Structure 1
Amino acid sequence: MTDIEKLEKKAARFIAEQALLQSGDTVLCALSGGPDSVALFHVLRSLAPALGIGLQAVHLNHGLRGAEADRDEAFVRELCARWSVPLWAERAEMAQRPRPAGQSEETFARALRYDFFERAAEAAQALSGGPVKVATAHTASDNAETLLFRLARGTSLTGAGGIPPRRGGYIRPLLCCTRQEILAYCRSAGHAYRTDSTNLLPCCSRNRLRLQAMPVLRGVNPKAEEALSAFAEDARETAAFLDGLARQLLAAAAAGAGWRAGQLAAAPGPVRRAALAQLLAARDVTGREQVTEAAAVVCGEKASSQLGEGLFARRSGGIFYLEQTAPAPPADWELPFSTGLLPLPDGRIVAVLEQEYEEIVKLCGEDKKELKKFADYGMINKISTFRTRRPGDLFRPAGRGVTKSLKKLMAEDGVPRSARGRLLVLAEGRKVLWLEGVGVCEELLPRPGCRRAVQIKLIEPEE
């Protein structure tokens, strides 16, 4: 089998497997004049009768490479005229257009290119009255380079999926073929093509990967590109599976304007992260760090967190919220001490349970740490209150033999700043008698002679 037959059969099989084209489609071949796009043009031209598709081409001259770009455009025009393929062409004059702040020239060029593709597709659809798809000449080699680029910069499982065979109205019929196969096809068929001189210079990250990293990897494995592209396909399928589970989780956890935090927290980590990534992506926030921050709020490690400009995550009353405004600082409140169940303003419940001292001794045995969970009921002043921390609070934790400001103690114990304002205390004035997560003060530790004691527990709302 010749190189021509191999590539065309491989592409035809991939198009069928991925259901990229249907009879009656009009296909706009993105034709730059380079070897990949020229191969795509001829493959589609060869397969068009059997597939029942109409073929057109689209070319944007960015106006950046002067005479070289003009020669590329002339080549594309001549190629389309020779094979009687309609061509949509435009000149962008990129240098004369204002580029968005912080956007690279490469990204800006891509945005202009795809904007033109969209306009050409709309015009072609108006003329044909049928479905129109834009075919780009991405290859398995491009997919391998994209995967390496994303892994090096940091990415998610979705990002590791590389370039998909289709995205909306865009298809990649040659994604199954390597650049070497493309060049062999053009060589065997005698198809001329243009060479973009900027692709031969190690002037950007992708070029360096192509020119420097890939040859090294091919030295390790001659089929390195196929191996990387296959991994990307596996990652893409796994990510799609997780996304399905994530959508189910979000639907099940939905609660008014938020989601039940406990249900999200109980989900397997990969599913929880995929669900949070979906929520953030819908609000134009992406990135592993932001997903991690949102997960910290869901799991109760933080009460709130800013995830992006104007987007905040908050957990309140067992519900996880994403809001466009910063959560209000916790109100200064206090509740008189009493036994029983006391609802707190943040949705939690504090349970103050009475027990006989002898029962506590039997329960704790020799474990002094367990004893710190209890307080001598007779030593608690009736003016004591439950509240959150305040400036000037002092605490002498049982067993530590030192009195410190609550602020210093929390810092030494590694309590995150974002969590400190939510911690519950039982206090008498500025003297802290009990602190959430630590236990009672030295003075209230039950000792022989104590008649009754209380255990203070926090109950999260039912989620």
Structure 2
Amino acid sequence: MVLMVSGGADSTALLLMACSSRLDIADGRGCAPIARERLHVLHVNHHLRGEASDGDEMFVRDLCERFGLPLCVEHASFECLEGQNLEAAAREVRYAAAKRYVRELCREVGVPRSAARILTAHTASDRAETFFMNAIKGSGPAGLSSIPRRRNIVVRPLIDKTHDELCDYLRCANQPWREDESNNDTSYLRNFVRHNVMPLALERNGNIASTIGSTCDILGDEDAFLSQLASTALRSCIRRQQEGLVVLDGDRLAAAEVAIARRMIRLAIRMIDSEARLEMRHVEAVLSCVAARSGSRTLPGGIDARMEFGTLAMRTAAAREAAPVGWLSVPGTMACGNGCVLEASIVELPAVIDFDAAIRAAAHDLNGFPVLLADAEALGYGPADTASLAEKRGAVSSTRVKVWVDSAVAGDVMCPLGMHGRSKKVSDILNEAKIPVSERAAVPVVRTGPACSIVWVAGVRADDRFKCTAATRYAVKIVLKRME
């Protein structure tokens, strides 16, 4: 059990109570004493206040020596990310240090991480201040639920006590604490709320911290319920998922209640980049693309969100560079990485043709590039879709003719051309083609849609179900070209 102790009044009171009183650490025992041998203290010296920071460290060292508690001190140096305030950056450093310390302790004693606890000294006063801070900045239910009583192994046993109550407790115990002079600087939002907003609220309601705490509990419960609904809805909406990429069914997303749809977007982004910091304006921008059924937005972290052909594809910058993913319009082109590009067009076939010879000739075009000829109607497109495009070969496609391009995933199966409908694993086909596993992510796989039937493993094998026949009038032609 790791106690996060800064030396301030709240964390000093947490250490004393953990050693000599009863605390509820969310382990199923309720409010109970804690065995002294379970306690470990973590102090993070941010070195932001010079000698005062070193004084905090010495104070915590003396306190731990007095109570016989093992102490881990981390010396942190960090830079704020763009748009991130100093308090948030320091908080992330502290929690990262606490998680590392917990992992080390769990390895030493051979217990699962779920059995560990990280105790912080957040109070009802902190919770009320955070509520007002998030309200000032603008926030949804998650932000207004403020500081939770527990998040995974992080537990806050003092969340129902105010800062003043803990100061009185320390005075009765004749225990001094450290004061941080920067807490008086109202240029920080928390200090502005603490010194200007809270006193006004207390004039109206002397029990404001407890009142807001109850509100936060209600909002937190409702937020958790809505998040569970959104998670269930998201699972049924996912069309494709791989590292750095998630593709959602745009129609299902558009049909969801807006409160659920917003959360679905946030959860989907978290699946591909847990560090991305989405604001409400980002979520609303993505949903506006979904409502319009087209458009794209660049989100924090370089994530690309793109709505087209009824699907919302969200991918990280690394995923965009690593492998081809997305819709290929017909006619149209698509960069595939490794210096390759797919070019798609509609071609009209002559009335009389030797299709066996055509298939052999179509394996490569006149320049030696791999090429596919697929029956347009077998791909699901009617004469009206294809004929109009064949007449306007140079035009940008505004119809629904398109194919999906991505890379092979585990479990992919196709019916290779010439095997008369028998299926085969794509992994076996790539093995036979002697394509190294390290290079397979860069091999474009053309499909009828996300997670749908494979039409062509580009440059390797076509699928028999989409081959041209004597009845084929229009074909979708795709050439895999290497750019010079």
What is the TM-score when the length of structure 1 is the normalising length?
A: 0.61
Q: Relative to 1, partners in 2 of residues 1:37 and 1:347: Cα closer, same or farther, differing over 3 Å? A: farther
Q: Offset of 1:214 from its aligned partner?
A: 0.9
Contact kept? 1:293, 1:307, Cα under 8 Å: no
Q: Which residue of 1 aligns with 2:261?
A: 272
Contact kept? 1:318, 1:347, Cα under 8 Å: no
Root-mean-square deviation (CA, aligned residues, Å) is: 3.7
Q: Deviations over 1:431-455 (max 9, x none)?
A: xxxxxxxxxxxxxxxxxxxxxxxxx
1:322 counterpart (314, 318, 332):
314
1:247 counterpart (231, 252, 256):
231
Tell me if 1:121 matches 2:108: no
Unaligned segments of structure 2, at least 5 residues: 24-31, 242-246, 333-344, 347-375, 401-484
1:296 counterpart (278, 288, 297):
288
- Local SS of the residue matching 1:158: helix
Give the letter aligned to residue 262 of structure 1.
Answer: D
Q: Relative to 1, partners in 2 of residues 1:296 and 1:56: Cα closer, same or farther, differing over 3 Å? A: same
Q: Which residue of 2 aligns with 1:305?
A: 296
Q: Relative to 1, partners in 2 of residues 1:188 and 1:39: Cα closer, same or farther, differing over 3 Å? A: same
Q: Relative to 1, partners in 2 of residues 1:384 and 1:142: Cα closer, same or farther, differing over 3 Å? A: closer
Q: Relative to 1, partners in 2 of residues 1:64 and 1:124: Cα closer, same or farther, differing over 3 Å? A: same
Tell me if 1:235 matches 2:228: no
Superposition map of 1:45-64 within 5 A: 45=19, 46-47=21-22, 50-52=33-35, 54-64=38-48
Contact kept? 2:286, 2:296, Cα under 8 Å: yes
Q: Which residue of 2 aligns with 1:439?
A: none
Q: Offset of 1:138 from its aligned partner?
A: 0.8
2 CA distance for matches of 1:311 and 1:385?
A: 35
- Local SS of the residue matching 1:202: coil
Q: Relative to 1, partners in 2 of residues 1:64 and 1:262: Cα closer, same or farther, differing over 3 Å? A: closer
Contact kept? 2:18, 2:33, Cα under 8 Å: no
Q: Offset of 1:279 from its aligned partner?
A: 0.9
2 CA distance for matches of 1:274 and 1:51?
A: 38
Q: Which residue of 2 aligns with 1:33?
A: 7
Superposition map of 1:69-148 within 5 A: 69-92=53-76, 94=77, 103-130=84-111, 131-148=115-132
2 CA distance for matches of 1:204 and 1:183?
A: 23
1 CA distance for matches of 2:81 and 2:249?
A: 39
2 CA distance for matches of 1:348 and 1:204?
A: 60
Q: Offset of 1:61 from its aligned partner?
A: 2.2
Q: Which residue of 1 aligns with 2:442?
A: none
2 CA distance for matches of 1:349 and 1:148?
A: 58
Q: Offset of 1:216 from its aligned partner?
A: 0.9
2 CA distance for matches of 1:39 and 1:65?
A: 22
Q: Offset of 1:142 from its aligned partner?
A: 1.0
User: Number of residue pairs matched?
Assistant: 329
Contact kept? 1:303, 1:422, Cα under 8 Å: no
Q: Which residue of 2 aligns with 1:9?
A: none
Contact kept? 1:314, 1:327, Cα under 8 Å: no
Identify the range of structure 1 (35-44 vs 321-330) with the bigger mean alpha-carbon deviation: 321-330
Q: Which residue of 1 aligns with 2:248?
A: 259
1 CA distance for matches of 2:249 and 2:389?
A: 33
Superposition map of 1:423-442 within 5 A: none
2 CA distance for matches of 1:99 and 1:255?
A: 37
Contact kept? 1:246, 1:271, Cα under 8 Å: yes
Q: Relative to 1, partners in 2 of residues 1:255 and 1:64: Cα closer, same or farther, differing over 3 Å? A: closer
What is the TM-score when the length of structure 2 is the normalising length?
A: 0.59
Q: Relative to 1, partners in 2 of residues 1:116 and 1:323: Cα closer, same or farther, differing over 3 Å? A: closer
- Local SS of the residue matching 1:282: helix
Q: Which residue of 2 aligns with 1:281?
A: 270
- Local SS of the residue matching 2:227: helix
Q: Which residue of 1 aligns with 2:176?
A: 192
Contact kept? 1:30, 1:137, Cα under 8 Å: yes
Q: Deviations over 1:59-96 (max 9, x none)?
A: 1222232332232222212222222122222444x3xx
2 CA distance for matches of 1:244 and 1:112?
A: 29
Superposition map of 1:155-194 within 5 A: 155-194=139-178
Q: Deviations over 1:347-392 (max 9, x none)?
A: 999999xxxxxxxxxxxxxxxxxxxxxxxxxxxxxx99999xx99x
1 CA distance for matches of 2:16 and 2:184?
A: 24
Give the letter aligned to residue 239 of structure 1.
Answer: D
Superposition map of 1:321-340 within 5 A: 321-324=313-316, 325=320
Q: Deviations over 1:288-341 (max 9, x none)?
A: 112112222333x14021141543333344333224449679666999xxxxxx
Q: Deviations over 1:129-161 (max 9, x none)?
A: 334322111111111111221221122222222
Give the letter aligned to residue 49 of structure 2.
Answer: R
1 CA distance for matches of 2:84 and 2:249?
A: 38
Give the letter aligned to residue 137 of structure 1.
Answer: A
Query: Which structure has the bigger radius of gyration?
Result: 1
2 CA distance for matches of 1:304 and 1:347?
A: 24
Give the letter aligned to residue 200 of structure 2.
Answer: V
2 CA distance for matches of 1:350 and 1:270?
A: 41
Give the letter aligned to residue 264 of structure 1.
Answer: L
2 CA distance for matches of 1:99 and 1:190?
A: 38
2:17 counterpart (29, 43, 57):
43
Contact kept? 2:298, 2:305, Cα under 8 Å: yes
- Local SS of the residue matching 1:138: coil
Q: Relative to 1, partners in 2 of residues 1:221 and 1:330: Cα closer, same or farther, differing over 3 Å? A: farther
1 CA distance for matches of 2:251 and 2:128?
A: 39
Q: Which residue of 2 aligns with 1:417?
A: none
Unaligned segments of structure 1, at least 5 residues: 1-26, 336-342, 353-382, 392-420, 425-463
Q: Offset of 1:104 from its aligned partner?
A: 4.2
